[in-house]
Amino acid sequence: MTLICPVCGSPLTPEPARYLCTKNHSFDRAKSGYVNLLMRQKHRQRGDDTAMLAARRDFLDQGFYLPLLDAVAEAIPQNTETLADIGCGEGWYSCGLLKRFSAASLAGFDISPDAVRYAAQRAKAENTAARSCWAVASVNHIPLADESCRCILNLFAPCEPAEFARILAKDGLLIRAVPLERHLWELKCAVYDEPYENRPVLAAPEGFTLISQKALRYPINVSGDALHTLFAMTPYAHKTARSDAAKLDALTSLTVTVEFGVLICKKQ
């Protein structure tokens, strides 16, 4: 897929050490292959930090969320050639889907440079680098041309409907995954005296029509270090008092419910 220049909007050509646009705007390419196309932001957003990303990578690599990857793959039409993963994180879903859709190419974007670096490294390690490109970019300003993508993946990441509609081809699909009310409930109960339920938004974003919606709910048995890793990859890791988080030390294993909503939406 062709990235576009965040300054002038013309196509970027990948070279070994940089991306160059037709108007000579140049962007360094990291050793792992990704490029930083994030323009100065009015309100600085950082995205997920290194510890959270490393935890997510370790946890996802253990396969606990494979049923969700399957559900997302099922939602993608077989003949899809162009995918964009917005808020791709460390690239477990992106690369997993590239392996299942061998004729597709994918552009992965995240506002966190660490996330994109991990994703680019994963693509190299999993032999999907030739069909993928990775850029640090915000959901508000995606460096892809208008109507250049058939399917957007937006998994547990911020949603920007107008920007998604701009880059999606006519009749293109938006696939969202969101945590449902009691996602990780037992983990929350183990840590908090008064856990609260999530409040998922299960409607189609503006400019999209919901064509199907699926709830995926199953227990996972998490033991030892994986329990801490699971906690560390969630936003709770930063919001929880040390004394509460330490309650996990007393557990050797825990059966935890995971609950996801998968929404398939079509551009209107």
- Please report, as ranges, the residues that interact with ligand SAM according to CB under 6 A: 45, 47-48, 56, 87-89, 92-93, 110-112, 115, 138-139, 155-158
Query: In this complex, which beta carbon is closest to Zn ion, that of residue 135 or of residue 232?
Result: 135
- Please report, as ranges, the residues that interact with Zn ion according to CB under 5 A: 5, 7-8, 21, 23, 25
Q: Least distance in Å: CB of 185 to ligand SAM?
A: 18
Query: In this complex, which beta carbon is closest to Zn ion, that of residue 39 or of residue 125?
Result: 39
Q: Least distance in Å: CB of 65 to ligand SAM?
A: 8
Q: Least distance in Å: CB of 2 to Zn ion?
A: 13
Query: In this complex, which beta carbon is closest to Zn ion, that of residue 20 or of residue 30?
Result: 20
3-state helix/strand/coil string of the chain: CCEECCCCCCEEEECCCEEEECCCCEEEECCCCCEECCCCCCCCCCCCCHHHHHHHHHHHCCCCCHHHHHHHHHHCCCCCCEEEEECCCCCHHHHHHHHHCCCCEEEEEECCHHHHHHHHHHHHHCCCHHHEEEEECCCCCCCECCCCEEEEEEECCCCCHHHHHHHEEEEEEEEEEEECCCCCHHHHHHHCCCCCCCCCCCCCCCCEEEEEEEEEEEEEEEECHHHHHHHHCCCHHHHCCHHHHHHHHHCCEEEEEEEEEEEEEEEC
Residue 96 contact among ligand SAM, Zn ion, none, beta carbon within 5 to 8 Å by kind = none
Query: In this complex, which beta carbon is closest to Zn ion, that of residue 12 or of residue 86?
Result: 12
Q: Least distance in Å: CB of 23 to ligand SAM?
A: 25
Query: In this complex, which beta carbon is closest to ligand SAM, that of residue 21 or of residue 152?
Result: 152
Residue 21 contact among ligand SAM, Zn ion, none, beta carbon within 5 to 8 Å by kind = Zn ion
Q: Least distance in Å: CB of 19 to ligand SAM?
A: 19
